[in-house]
Structure 1
Amino acid sequence: MHPAQPPRRPFTVSRRTFLSAAGVTLAATVGTAAAAAPATAAPTTATAKAAANGPTFPPTLTELQPRDAASVQALLAYDPATDPNARYMRSRVPLARRIDGARATQANPKLDPRPRITSLNHYYNQPLAGAPSLVDTRYGYDQHPYITRFAQYQDILGGWMGAQNLPNPGYVDAAHRNGTIALGIVFQPYISATPGAVPDFLARDAAGNYLIGDKLVDLAGYFGFDGYFLNIEGKTITEGQAADLAALFDAMHARARANGIDHFHLQIYDALWTDGSGEYENRFDAHNAGWVNPGHTADSMFINYAWPKNIPTTSSYHHDADYVTPSVALAKERSLDPFATLYFGLDIQEENDGRHLNALDYFASEVVPLNGDGAAVASLALFVQSDRTVQRTRDQLGDQAGDPAQLYPAIDVADRKFWSGAAQNPAVQPVPVHPSPVEAAAVDYVPRYGMANFVPERSVIGAAPFTTRFNTGQGDGFRLAGARAGARAWYHIGIQDVLPSWQWWTRDAATGETGGDRLLSADYEGGAAYNGGSCLRIEGRLGGELATEVRLYRTALDAGRALELSLLVKAVTAGAGDRLRFGLSYGDRPTATQWLSPVGAAVDAGEGWRRLTFRPRPRRGATVTALSIGAFGTGAAADFAVRVGELRVLDGALGRRPARPSGFRVDATSAGATGLVWQAAERGVWYYDVRTAGPAPQWLGRISGDAVVVEALPSGTRLTLVAVGFDGAESAPATLTVR
C-alpha cells in the first residue's frame, strides 16, 4: 500500500511551486532565475570569434548542453583539441580522502555523520545589481562574486545555469581539495517525440553504443569531474525510451570504469517515472525506484520538494502522509543505503519570499533531526542556496545594497550563518523554534538554524604536510611573502585553501566554555595576506585571566610522528604575536586542548611577519584530532589584534623542494590573452605560480595543473614559473621571455 497522495498536478507545473504557502506562478519563478543567468544562453559572437583565434581571458567554458537536435549534434562533434579554451579549463586536483573521525571529535558529537549533502548552486553569484555574469569563467579580475567558504558541509556539488553540463573547473578544484565530488548538469536533454527520426540524447551507433552517454563520460574524464546531475522534467517519454535511458546510465558507468574514472556518480532528479511518465513523485516508491539500483543505473536521487508531511494547509500540495519513512524502507528493501541514495530536496532559492517556508527551520528535521536529537534516516539536497543568501542580504540592507563596503561583508556573515548556524559558531546548539507557516514564509523571517546544526563538518587533514594561508579564493589585491604583488581585485575559487573546519568555534581557553561576550573573535581579513588575498585575524579585548581558544581544524594526524607546527603571525597591536599558543587535541581526550609554547625565537619572514615554531612531544599510538590557536592575556585588559598568515604542519621538517618546472612555454595567444603551459609533476606539488621576473614580482596566475591563461602580455615580458609543495616550499623558477 502506498501512503495517501496529494492531488497530481500537470507535469508543466514548476517544482518550485511545491512548497508555496499560497502559490506562485511559473513565470514569476522563471523570471527570477533568468535575471541571474539564462540557462541556455549561447556564447556571444564576439566570444566565439575570439575563441576561434585563441584562448580568452577570462577563460570560459563552452556550452555543450544537448537540449535540441542541433545541440546534440554539436555535442557529438565537440573536440577539446579544437577548443582553444579547453586545455585551460581542466581540473587536475585529485579527490581528497576524507578522514573517518570519531563523533567525539565533532563540534556537536550528537550529530550523525552518515547524512550527506548535495548542493546545487550558481557559480560565482554576483551580489551587485547589474554586474556581469561570471558563471562560466574559471577566474578573473575586477569582480567580487559571492564565494562560499564551507565545502566541509558538502558531499556532492553541482552548478546551476551557465554551461551546466561542464562544471566550473575552479569549483571542481575546490571541491576535490575538500573531498567533495563535483557533477556536471544535464538539463532537459533532447529526447525525440519520434524515436529514431533524428539523433537525440538516446542515440546509438551501429554497435549499440550510446553516443551521448559515451561523450559525457569522456568529457568528465578530460575535464576532471565526477559525473552528472540529470534533470529531466516537464516531459513524458515512451516506456521504451525510459528503458533506453536506464541502459544509457549503465553504459555510462561501464565506460567510466573502463576509462579509470573513480567515484563516477549519476544523480537523477525525481521528475520522471521509470515508465516514462513526466511526474514529480516527491518520494522514493514503485514509480521511480527503478532508476536507482545497487551497482548500476543512477547512484542516487534528488527527491522533489513536496515530500514533507507538514506542508501547510494553505498550499495546494498539503498532505498529511509520511513520505520519508516508506521511502527509506523501500531503499533498504532494495539493499540500498538511504544515506548514499536518497537526497530529500530543500528549495532554498525561493524560501522566505512571502510564500515559501524556510526550509531548514521548518522541514529539514523530518530527515535529519536538529542538533542530533533523534535518528537521521537519509540525506538532504540544497537547491540554489547562493541566490537566497545574496537576495536576503540585499533585502536586509535596502538602500545600502549598492555599496560594496556594506554588501560584501554582510554576505560573508549571511553565508556563515547558513552553514555554521545563527550563532556563527558550529558548536552552539540552537534552541528549537516552531514558527507558524505565515512566520516561516515571511520576507523578514530570521533563520535560526544552519547546516552545522544538522550535519557534522568533514575534514581531509589526515597526514602531514598540511599548509593553509586562509586564502578564501578572492581578494582586493595579491601578496607574496607579505609584499604586494598585485593591486587589482581578483577571484578564483580554484586556489581557495582548505579553510577551517569550524567557522568560528571560539571558547574560553581556561574553562572550555563555548561562546560568551568576553571571547576574542576570528574572521578572514582581506588585503593583509601573507600569501594570496586574505589571512586570519583574531581580535578583541585581552588581558588578565582572559584567554580565547579558536578551534580551527578537525584532524586525524599520527601523534607518534615528530610533528613540527608553525604559525606566520603579524601583530596589529603591540606584542600580540607573543600572546599566541598552538593547541592540540588528542583522541583519548578530544574535548581537552594541550597548549604549546614556541620553540626558540620567532624567525623574521619579512614585511612584519614572524614565524613561530612549535614541536609537540610524540605520543605513540595517539591521534591529533584538532588544531587550535590560543590567545592568553596578561596584565590589564586592552585591545588585541593579530593576523595569522599561515598555519603549517610538517612531518619532522621541510622536505625537499619541488623540482624546477620543465617545458614552460607560450602555448597560444589571442588579442586579449596569453596561454602558458608546462610539464606538471606527477606528485608533490600543491600549485604553480606564474609571476613577472624581477626583484618585485607581480603575480599573474595560480593553478593546480599544467596550463593557465593570463591577460595578453607584450613581447619581451619576462616570466617565472615556480612549483609550490604542500609544505609551502617553492622550487627554483623556470623562466620565459614572451616573444
Structure 2
Amino acid sequence: MNRPTRRAVLLAGAAAALLPAPPAAAAAPTEAAPAAEPAPASQPYASYWYPDSLPAGTPGPGVTWRSLSTWSAATDPDLALNASTVPLARRFTPTPANTTARAGQARVQALVSFGPTSGNPSQGSATADYYALTHWAYLDELVFWGGSAGEGLILAPNAPVVDAAHRHGVPVLGNVFLPPVAYGGQLRWTRDLVRRDASGRHPLAAQLVAVAAAYGFDGWFLNAETGGGDSALGADMLGFVTELRTLAAARGHRVTWYDAMTVDGQVAWQGALDDRNQDFFQAADDMFVDFRWSAESLASSARTAEQLGRDRYELWAGVDVESSGTGTVVDWDAIVPSDAPHVTSIGFYRPEWTRDHLPAGRTPEDFHAADDRFWTGRSLDPSRPDTGDVWRAPAVSVADRSTVTAVPFASVFNTGHGLRWYEDGEVTSDTPWNQLGLQDRLPSRRWAVRTEGRRPAVRLDFADAWRGGNSVLVEGELDRPAVVDLYATRLTAGPHTVVELTHRADSGDVRVELAVATAEPEAAGQAPPYTYLPLPKVRAAGHGGWRTSTVRLTGLSGTLHALGVRLTSLAGSVPVRWRLGGLAVHDGEAATPSAPVRPRITAARGGDLRLAWRPSRGAVRHYTLHRVLPDGARRFLAATCQHACFVAGLTPAPGERAARLELRAVGELYTSSAPVTLTHPW
C-alpha cells in the first residue's frame, strides 16, 4: 500500500485498544454434559492466528498467539460463540431512488476494522460507542479488516458482524494480512502460508476454507505486503490462491486479492490491473486496486479485465477514507462517471471514519448523522441527491438493494447498539450495549421523504424505543403531508395479510396513513405508486404511550413493492415529533418458536458465566437472557443469534442464594417462547 502513516495508525490503534483478558481457560464443549463444577468462565473474543510459526518472545497483555496450522473446529473452545447462524439472504434491486444511481454497474466493497485484532469481544460489549454499520443496501462485499505482526495475521469475523451483514445480503470476508517488513512483517510467515505438503497441496488453503465454513462467513481477502520474495515465492503464492479459490468455490465462498505482491514475488503496488498482477486476479474472484490508481490506469484496467474475459466491476478501485472521510478528494469520474458507464467498482478503505473522527463523548445520533452523510450524501435523501456535493456518496451512483422478500416480516429498526434496552416500551436494562447481530433489516433509502411542503427531519433516535435500542423519529413543521419511504419489498399479499405499525406522537396532532405500493415506479427517481390506507382506531400497546395499529390490506393483492407512511398535521404548520417503533407484515397469528433445549452453564467464575443450549424448533430471530430478581423484576442481560453466550459481572442481590436466569427464543414477529430457567448458586 505504500502508506506508512496508515499502517502506523492501524498498528498503534490496535495496540492501544487491547482489552485485558482474564486468564484463559477452555470452556466445556457446547454439546458436552456439564461438569459437576464448571470450568472458569473467560471472555470470548474474535479469533485470529499466524499461519504456522509464531513470533519470538512472549505475547503482549491480552494477546494470545495461535497457529492456524493446528486449529480444528473440534477443539476450538469459542466456536459456539463466534459462529454466525444467519444465512446469507438473497436480495433484489428495486427501481433506483434517483436518476443517477445505476443497477448492474459499479459495486461497493468496504474494508472495516470493527475492533482491535486481539481483545475484540465475540458477542458485543457494554458500550453504545460502536461502528454500527447500517447502510448495507449499497454494499456488495465486507472485509473484516485488521491484523498485526504482534498479535496475529489471519482474522475471522466475529458473529455479530456476519449475522447483520447476512441479514442484508452482504457476504463477509476474513482477512489475511502479511504486513510490510517496516511494520514487523516476516517473509517466513508468507512462506508458511503457501507451503506445500508431500502431495503438492497447500494445507493452509484447506484450513482457511474450513475456518470460514465452521464460522459461517464467506471467504477471504488476501493482502500479501511482506517484501523480499522472489519468483519462486510468487509461483507458490499463485498456486496457493488458485487452490484456495477452488476449495472456496465448492463451499460457495469468495477470494479477493489485494494489489500488492506481483508474480515475481516482490511487493510493488501497481494501482492497476496489468501483466504483473493479472495472474493473481485470474486466480481470484476479484481484486482490490491499490490507491495509486489514475483515471488512465483504471480505464486500462477495465479494458484488460474484459480482454481476459472478466467483468470490469470485479475490480475495486481503492478509496482511502480513513483520515478524511467525506472530505477525501477523489476523482469520482475516473470510477463512476455520471455521463458514461461506470469504469470499475469502489473499494472503501476504513469507512468507520464516520465514528472514529468524532470527539470523545460522541453519541449514537452523532455517529449515524455522520454515517448517513457518508453513504447518502449532503442532501440526506437518496431520492433527491445533491449533485453539487463534492463527496459523491454511494447513493448517488449505486442502486440500493433489499432483502425483504417473505412474510412474516418485522422490524423494530434496531441498529445493533443503544443506550438502554427496551421491551414493549419499557426499559429492562439501563446499560449501554452493542451487539450488531441483533440489527434488524433496516430501510435501504434513508431517508427518502416526499412532500410539497417543508421536509421534516428523519433519523434514528436513541432517546426512546419500543424494542431494542432505538426508534425512528420524524420531526419538523408539517405544513403539507409528508410521505416517508420505509421498505422496498417483494412481499406476497393474500386475503389475510395485515400490516402493524407501533408508533407514538410525542408532540403535535398527526394523522398517520400506511403507504402501500403494489407496483414499481414507471422510471428511476419517481415515487412508488402508493395507495394510502388510514390507520384504524389504535389500541394501547405498552408503556410510554406507544400504540399499535393494524391495517388490513383490503382491496390489495399480489406483490407489495414498497411500504411507507404518510403524515399529516391536523393542527396546521406546527412542530411535530412522531416516532415509529415497529412494523410487521403477517398473514395471521404470529408463529412462536419452541423454548431453547437443554440450556446449561458450561463455565463459571464468580459472576462471569458461559451458557449453551440446543436450538429451538421454528424460525428464531435471536435468543434473550434475563435475570429474575428476588422481587420478581426481570432485567435484560444479553441477546444473541448464537446457541451460546457469555455474561459478566453478575453480583448477588441482597439475600439471594442463587441467580435465576431465564432464556427465551424470539421469533420473526418478536413473539417469545416460554422461558427455560437456569440457576447459578453464589
Distance 1:735 1:562, change over 3 A: same
Which amino acid counterpart does residue 576 of structure 2 have in structure 1? Answer: F
Which of the residues 62, 69, 94 maps onto 2:47? 62
Q: Tell whether the 8 Å contact from 2:520 to 2:528 is kept in structure 1 after alignment.
A: no
Which of the residues 614, 623, 630 maps onto 1:688? 623
Residue in structure 1 matched with residue 229 of structure 2 by the alignment: 237
Q: Tell whether the 8 Å contact from 2:498 to 2:553 is kept in structure 1 after alignment.
A: yes
| CA-CA distance at 1:62 after TM superposition | 3.4
| CA-CA distance at 1:495 after TM superposition | 0.9
Residue in structure 2 matched with residue 402 of structure 1 by the alignment: 360
Match of 2:49, SS?
coil
Residue in structure 2 matched with residue 76 of structure 1 by the alignment: 69
Q: Tell whether the 8 Å contact from 1:270 to 1:301 is kept in structure 2 after alignment.
A: yes
Unaligned stretches of 5+ in structure 2?
Answer: 28-38, 57-64
Which of the residues 318, 332, 335 maps onto 1:367? 335
The separation in 2 between residues aligned to 1:733 and 1:195, in whole angstroms, is 54
Match of 2:235, SS?
helix
Match of 1:362, SS?
coil
| CA-CA distance at 1:118 after TM superposition | 0.9
Q: Is 1:273 the equivalent of 2:273?
A: no
**1:501-516 mapped onto 2 (5 Å cutoff):** 501-508=444-451
| CA-CA distance at 1:475 after TM superposition | 1.0
Distance 1:683 1:288, change over 3 A: farther
Residue in structure 1 matched with residue 399 of structure 2 by the alignment: 456
Distance 1:275 1:402, change over 3 A: closer
Residue in structure 2 matched with residue 30 of structure 1 by the alignment: 7
Q: Tell whether the 8 Å contact from 1:69 to 1:199 is kept in structure 2 after alignment.
A: no
| CA-CA distance at 1:594 after TM superposition | 2.7
Q: Is 1:333 the equivalent of 2:307?
A: yes
Which of the residues 204, 209, 214 maps onto 2:196? 204
The separation in 1 between residues aligned to 2:428 and 2:186, in whole angstroms, is 59
| CA-CA distance at 1:599 after TM superposition | 5.7
Q: Is 1:49 the equivalent of 2:54?
A: no
Question: Per-residue displacement from partner, 1:231-279 (whole Å, max 9, x unpaired)?
Answer: 1124142323322222222322343455xx33x1111100122232321
| CA-CA distance at 1:143 after TM superposition | 4.9
Distance 1:302 1:181, change over 3 A: same
Which of the residues 587, 591, 594 maps onto 2:519? 587
Q: Tell whether the 8 Å contact from 1:158 to 1:185 is kept in structure 2 after alignment.
A: yes
Q: Is 1:556 the equivalent of 2:455?
A: no
Which of the residues 99, 103, 112 maps onto 1:112? 103
Q: Tell whether the 8 Å contact from 2:164 to 2:439 is kept in structure 1 after alignment.
A: yes
Distance 1:363 1:671, change over 3 A: farther
Which of the residues 450, 458, 467 maps onto 1:531? 467
Distance 1:42 1:478, change over 3 A: closer
Q: Tell whether the 8 Å contact from 2:287 to 2:315 is kept in structure 1 after alignment.
A: yes
Residue in structure 1 matched with residue 36 of structure 2 by the alignment: none
Distance 1:417 1:67, change over 3 A: farther
**1:264-663 mapped onto 2 (5 Å cutoff):** 264-293=253-282, 297-309=283-295, 322-339=296-313, 341-351=314-324, 358-359=327-328, 362-370=330-338, 373-387=339-353, 389-390=354-355, 392=357, 394=358, 401-404=359-362, 408-432=364-388, 448-508=391-451, 518-542=454-478, 546-559=480-493, 562-573=496-507, 575-576=509-510, 579-589=511-521, 591-598=527-534, 600-607=536-543, 608-617=545-554, 619=556, 622-650=558-586, 652-663=587-598
Q: Tell whether the 8 Å contact from 1:124 to 1:147 is kept in structure 2 after alignment.
A: no
Residue in structure 2 matched with residue 736 of structure 1 by the alignment: 678
Which amino acid counterpart does residue 348 of structure 1 have in structure 2? Answer: V
Distance 1:649 1:185, change over 3 A: same
Which amino acid counterpart does residue 247 of structure 1 have in structure 2? Answer: G
Distance 1:98 1:411, change over 3 A: same
Which amino acid counterpart does residue 658 of structure 2 have in structure 1? Answer: G
Match of 2:155, SS?
coil
Which amino acid counterpart does residue 584 of structure 1 have in structure 2? Answer: V
| CA-CA distance at 1:549 after TM superposition | 0.8
Question: Per-residue displacement from partner, 1:204-225 (whole Å, max 9, x unpaired)?
Answer: 3333332221211111111111
Residue in structure 2 matched with residue 9 of structure 1 by the alignment: none
The separation in 1 between residues aligned to 2:398 and 2:495, in whole angstroms, is 31
Which of the residues 115, 123, 130 maps onto 1:145? 130
Which amino acid counterpart does residue 699 of structure 1 have in structure 2? Answer: F
The separation in 1 between residues aligned to 2:54 and 2:191, in whole angstroms, is 7
The separation in 2 between residues aligned to 1:252 and 1:551, in whole angstroms, is 43
Which amino acid counterpart does residue 262 of structure 2 have in structure 1? Answer: W
Which amino acid counterpart does residue 554 of structure 1 have in structure 2? Answer: A
Residue in structure 1 matched with residue 173 of structure 2 by the alignment: 183
| CA-CA distance at 1:410 after TM superposition | 3.1
Residue in structure 1 matched with residue 33 of structure 2 by the alignment: none
Which amino acid counterpart does residue 287 of structure 1 have in structure 2? Answer: R
Match of 1:738, SS?
strand
Q: Tell whether the 8 Å contact from 2:162 to 2:217 is kept in structure 1 after alignment.
A: yes
The separation in 1 between residues aligned to 2:533 and 2:156, in whole angstroms, is 48
Q: Tell whether the 8 Å contact from 2:422 to 2:467 is kept in structure 1 after alignment.
A: yes
| CA-CA distance at 1:656 after TM superposition | 2.5
The separation in 2 between residues aligned to 1:56 and 1:727, in whole angstroms, is 33
Q: Tell whether the 8 Å contact from 2:186 to 2:226 is kept in structure 1 after alignment.
A: no
Q: Tell whether the 8 Å contact from 1:465 to 1:649 is kept in structure 2 after alignment.
A: yes
Residue in structure 2 matched with residue 438 of structure 1 by the alignment: none
Residue in structure 2 matched with residue 439 of structure 1 by the alignment: none
| CA-CA distance at 1:199 after TM superposition | 7.1
Q: Tell whether the 8 Å contact from 1:50 to 1:670 is kept in structure 2 after alignment.
A: no
The separation in 1 between residues aligned to 2:186 and 2:547, in whole angstroms, is 70
Distance 1:527 1:182, change over 3 A: same
Distance 1:51 1:540, change over 3 A: farther
The separation in 1 between residues aligned to 2:306 and 2:508, in whole angstroms, is 61
| CA-CA distance at 1:432 after TM superposition | 4.0
Q: Tell whether the 8 Å contact from 1:559 to 1:618 is kept in structure 2 after alignment.
A: no
Distance 1:527 1:696, change over 3 A: farther
Q: Tell whether the 8 Å contact from 1:143 to 1:489 is kept in structure 2 after alignment.
A: yes
Q: Tell whether the 8 Å contact from 1:157 to 1:181 is kept in structure 2 after alignment.
A: yes
Which amino acid counterpart does residue 175 of structure 1 have in structure 2? Answer: A
| CA-CA distance at 1:109 after TM superposition | 6.4
Which of the residues 185, 190, 205 maps onto 1:213? 205
| CA-CA distance at 1:145 after TM superposition | 2.3
Which amino acid counterpart does residue 114 of structure 1 have in structure 2? Answer: Q
Question: Per-residue displacement from partner, 1:380-399 (whole Å, max 9, x unpaired)?
Answer: 10001213x3455x4xxxxx
Q: Tell whether the 8 Å contact from 2:113 to 2:350 is kept in structure 1 after alignment.
A: yes
RMSD: 3.1
Q: Is 1:92 the equivalent of 2:24?
A: no
Distance 1:583 1:109, change over 3 A: farther
Q: Tell whether the 8 Å contact from 1:69 to 1:190 is kept in structure 2 after alignment.
A: no
Match of 1:292, SS?
helix
Distance 1:65 1:154, change over 3 A: farther
Percent sequence identity over matched residues? 28
The separation in 2 between residues aligned to 1:702 and 1:196, in whole angstroms, is 42
| CA-CA distance at 1:301 after TM superposition | 0.2
Q: Tell whether the 8 Å contact from 1:430 to 1:448 is kept in structure 2 after alignment.
A: no
Unaligned stretches of 5+ in structure 1?
Answer: 1-13, 17-25, 126-131, 310-321, 395-400, 434-446
Question: Per-residue displacement from partner, 1:119-176 (whole Å, max 9, x unpaired)?
Answer: 0012059xxxxxx996455311145223222121111111222565211221111111
Which amino acid counterpart does residue 170 of structure 2 have in structure 1? Answer: T
Which amino acid counterpart does residue 250 of structure 1 have in structure 2? Answer: T
The separation in 1 between residues aligned to 2:340 and 2:533, in whole angstroms, is 42
